[in-house]
């Protein structure tokens, strides 16, 4: 294989996946390499004096100080409004029934969202339910707030609600919170996804264009473990490609994360089927890049930002989901800066591919020819298959006719 010699440029160490602060959680490009916790701690500090959106696009003429002063005063009022701190607990919520409600929540089967909703609507959890409803109504009413602010409010809401369940074991609190996230974000999705207050939409388009311009990149260039079993076999990464495309259709952040995890597990499986040794972290990342390039997932940037802003922190910082999500953000970063060296090409070859979309370069032509040949072979195989099945049908027809003729000739019937 002619690519085997070039140095592996798509390479990542475990340390690079972790939060810049060294707290041990997974970091993400959405938080400039920090984990969600360190990032929020940092922006909370910065929020006092600085404008919350540090983007270079901010017009320089605005008096920042005055604006941010005003903003922080306003936001603390809004915060009170959202979290309802001042509202005293209402009558029917006797402590006993609340404890009962908590017990009932604790007894829920994991993942049973319907039962959770039913319980939330029961009289015993009226207070909790009205907190949720009030929060959702206020969020909808203030949907024009900057998306970062909305993210802060949702995260604060999660924290407060988690406190409501804090008598439960941690694992169950997490399950309750997953239900809560689903409840809240299913409803808020249409207001906060790809919000007008940020440049998510432009970034989606830019990433989509970038991916389209790289459609000539082959698995070999990325050093993705790949089988060369011939045209009959489908791309072993197809299930992963499908899974990442499905991400856009989901509304709750956890469901989007599930798609990322499903995609990642499928990648590990595909790498495993193409390679005799187990997949390493670099195999995984290369294959993930390949999958993202093939899929060109709709609104990928928006989807990742949405998950980062409104997902449950524990799902993003730790465990399998955190690892996969961080890798996805690394994959996107690699795609944005993918160059000749990373693909083992000369600068001229790379330029040729980029300009011609693969059609002008010699390699691109070779690849096209190969694809055409494969297509022909596939069609020929299909024709042959049809011929074979026709032959088989003929044979069985002839046989059955023969049998029937024999039966008639012998005057008897087979006793079946």
Q: Which residues bind Zn ion (CB under 5 A)?
A: 19, 21, 23, 25, 35, 38
Quick one: 27 or 344, whose CB is closer to Zn ion? 27
User: How many CB atoms lie under 10 A from the CB of residue 349?
Assistant: 16
Q: Read out DSSP for 173-233?
A: HHHHHHHHHHHHHHHHHHHHTT-TTSSHHHHHHHHHHHHHHTTT--HHHHT-------TTS
Closest approach of Zn ion to the CB of residue 331, in Å: 21
Question: Between vectors from CA 312 to CA 134 and to CA 135, what angle results, nearest 5°?
Answer: 5
Closest approach of Zn ion to the CB of residue 27, in Å: 7
Closest approach of Zn ion to the CB of residue 317, in Å: 8
Half-sphere exposure of 244 (CA within 13 A, CB side): 31
Judge whether 208 and 163 are in contact, CB under 8 Å. no
Closest approach of Zn ion to the CB of residue 55, in Å: 22
Quick one: 25 or 82, whose CB is closer to Zn ion? 25
Quick one: 45 or 202, whose CB is closer to Zn ion? 45
Quick one: 23 or 78, whose CB is closer to Zn ion? 23
Strand, helix or coil for residue 26: strand
Quick one: 18 or 128, whose CB is closer to Zn ion? 18
* Whole-number Å distance between alpha carbons of 76 and 86: 13
Distance of CA 364 to the CA centre of its chain: 31
Closest approach of Zn ion to the CB of residue 34, in Å: 5
Query: By CB neighbour count within 10 A (0-12 exposed, 13-18 middle, 19+ buried), where does 376 fall?
Result: exposed
Closest approach of Zn ion to the CB of residue 14, in Å: 15
Quick one: 4 or 15, whose CB is closer to Zn ion? 15
Quick one: 322 or 361, whose CB is closer to Zn ion? 322
* Whole-number Å distance between alpha carbons of 13 and 3: 23
Integer-rounded Cα radius of gyration of the chain: 29
Closest approach of Zn ion to the CB of residue 13, in Å: 17
* Whole-number Å distance between alpha carbons of 132 and 136: 6
Quick one: 19 or 185, whose CB is closer to Zn ion? 19
* Whole-number Å distance between alpha carbons of 20 and 133: 37
Judge whether 287 and 270 are in contact, CB under 8 Å. yes
271: which strand partners? none
Closest approach of Zn ion to the CB of residue 329, in Å: 15
Closest approach of Zn ion to the CB of residue 38, in Å: 3
Both tokens assigned to 233: 């076999």
Quick one: 124 or 316, whose CB is closer to Zn ion? 316
* Whole-number Å distance between alpha carbons of 47 and 151: 14
């Amino acid at each position: 294989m002619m690519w085997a010699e070039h140095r592996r440029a798509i390479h990542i160490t475990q340390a690079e996946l972790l939060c810049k602060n060294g707290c041990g959680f997974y970091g993400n490009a959405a938080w400039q390499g920090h984990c969600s916790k360190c990032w929020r701690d940092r922006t909370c500090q910065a929020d006092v004096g600085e404008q919350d959106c540090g983007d270079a696009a901010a017009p320089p003429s605005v008096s920042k100080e005055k604006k941010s002063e005003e903003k922080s005063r306003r936001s603390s009022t809004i915060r009170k409004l959202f979290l309802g701190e001042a509202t005293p607990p209402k009558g029917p919520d006797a402590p006993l029934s609340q404890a009962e409600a908590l017990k009932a929540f604790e007894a829920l089967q994991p993942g049973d969202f319907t039962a959770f909703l039913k319980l939330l609507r029961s009289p015993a959890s009226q207070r909790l339910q009205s907190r949720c409803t009030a929060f959702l109504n206020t969020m909808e009413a203030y949907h024009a707030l900057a998306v970062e602010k909305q993210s802060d409010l949702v995260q604060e809401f999660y924290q407060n609600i988690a406190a409501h369940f804090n008598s439960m074991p941690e694992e169950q609190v997490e399950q309750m919170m997953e239900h809560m996230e689903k409840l809240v974000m299913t409803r808020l999705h249409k207001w906060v996804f790809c919000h007008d207050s940020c440049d998510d939409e432009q970034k989606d388009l830019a990433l989509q264009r970038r991916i389209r311009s790289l459609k000539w990149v082959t698995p070999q260039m990325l050093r993705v473990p790949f089988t060369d079993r011939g045209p009959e076999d489908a791309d072993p990464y197809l299930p992963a490609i499908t899974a990442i495309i499905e991400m856009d259709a989901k509304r709750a952040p956890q469901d989007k994360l599930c798609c990322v995890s499903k995609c990642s597990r499928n990648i590990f499986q595909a790498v495993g089927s193409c390679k005799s040794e187990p997949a390493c972290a670099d195999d995984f990342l290369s294959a993930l890049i390949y999958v993202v390039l093939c899929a060109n997932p709709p609104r990928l940037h928006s989807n990742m930002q949405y998950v980062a802003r409104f997902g449950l922190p524990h799902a993003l910082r730790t465990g399998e989901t955190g690892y996969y999500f961080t890798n996805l953000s690394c994959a996107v970063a690699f795609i944005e800066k993918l160059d000749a060296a990373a693909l083992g090409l000369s600068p001229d070859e790379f330029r040729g591919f980029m300009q011609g979309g693969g059609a002008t370069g010699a390699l691109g032509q070779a690849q096209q020819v190969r694809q055409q040949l494969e297509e022909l072979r596939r069609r020929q195989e299909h024709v042959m298959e049809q011929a074979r099945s026709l032959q088989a049908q003929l044979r069985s027809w002839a046989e059955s006719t023969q049998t029937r003729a024999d039966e008639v000739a012998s005057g008897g019937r087979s006793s079946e």
